[in-house]
Amino acid sequence: MLIIGHRGSRGTHQENSLSSLREALRADVDMIEFDVRLTKDKVPVLCHSLRLYGTRKTELALLRRYTYAELQKRTAGSDHPILSLEKALDELFGTVILNIEVKERTAVNAVIKVSKKHVHKKSDWDKILFSSSKPLVLAAIRRKCPEAALAFLSRRGSLLFAVLHRAIDLSAVGFHRLYTSRLALHTAKELGLFTYAYTVNRSSAAKRLIDRGIDGIVTDYPAQLVESLRNKD
């Protein structure tokens, strides 16, 4: 069973920041998940929501309104400057499996272009899992990169992943922890897909999912789950 750091180590550090990624790596996770969106000048950066983290709700600091240089300047005085996908890959590629959630269709070309800089042989694609809840994003990645491993983020126990698997050849499916049904898990296993559940922060909940046969757990507190699930086996 794999332990996957959610946006690095979201529960202890600023999500999608370099310090968060490093903390997840220090915790000895099997995989690190993070989100990618585009800046105004089409640079892929780590960011979950459209609005910049650390800004007031009344401030419309939307990521896509700024160039990467402007974002660097804007976040330079903070503890967590904006992090580009390229710098994240420079830091992590080859040390741990990376789960890159592509948040928007327009980011696909840039994400693949940056990723290819770190891929020198076909097997290197096994070090990245591209995930999305949007079928069109995954289809675009498949067209751009036939070798890519894809994961569909399923909602509310849907079996849509089975249809998508036939269409675009998935490698994995991620289930919300509350909608990880036995039927969905059984279907995914029959299709040969890696299964994981998000976001699980209690060891008791993780153990229940493991008993059901889940292959991986996404958590905000990777160090804690590593300690409770792996080191005490």
Decide if pLDDT at 56 tops 50: no
The pLDDT, as a whole number, for residue 38 is: 95
CATH of range 2-230; options 3.40.50.2300, 3.30.70.600, 3.20.20.190, 3.30.160.150: 3.20.20.190
Looking only at the bridges linking them, the beta strands covering 2-6 and 216-219 are: parallel
Average pLDDT over residues 192-207: 97
Q: What is the pLDDT of residue 57?
A: 46
Residue with the larger pLDDT of the pair 232 and 228: 228
Using the predicted structure, report yes or no on whether residue 89 has a pLDDT greater than 60.
Answer: yes
171 pLDDT more than 60? yes
**Average pLDDT of the segment spanning 174-188:** 95
Does 108 score more than 50 pLDDT? yes
Run of H or E residues at 184 = helix 182-190
- For the chain, the maximum distance between any two Cα atoms, rounded to a whole number of angstroms, is 50
* Burial environment of residue 27 by CB neighbours within 10 A (0 to 12, 13 to 18, 19 or more): buried
Better pLDDT: 156 or 7: 7
Min mean pLDDT across 49-63, 103-117, 138-152, 184-198 is at 49-63
- Mean pLDDT calculated for residue range 157-185: 95
CA–CA separation, 100 vs 94, rounded Å? 14
Do the bridges between strand 44-46 and strand 31-38 make them parallel or antiparallel, or are there none, so unpaired? antiparallel
pTM for the full predicted model: 0.94
| Among candidate residues 121, 112, 101, 104, the one with its CA nearest the CA of residue 16 | 101
- The predicted pLDDT at position 61 comes to 57
Q: What angle do CA 217, 223, 226 make, to 5 degrees?
A: 55
First to last CA, the chain: 12
- Residues 123 and 19: their CA atoms lie apart, in Å, by 28
Tokens at residue 229, please?
């699930």
Q: What is the pLDDT of residue 84?
A: 97
Closest to 101 measured CA to CA, from 138, 50, 56, 140:
138
**pLDDT score of 52 more than 80:** no
Measured CA to CA, the distance from residue 152 to residue 33 in angstroms comes to 14
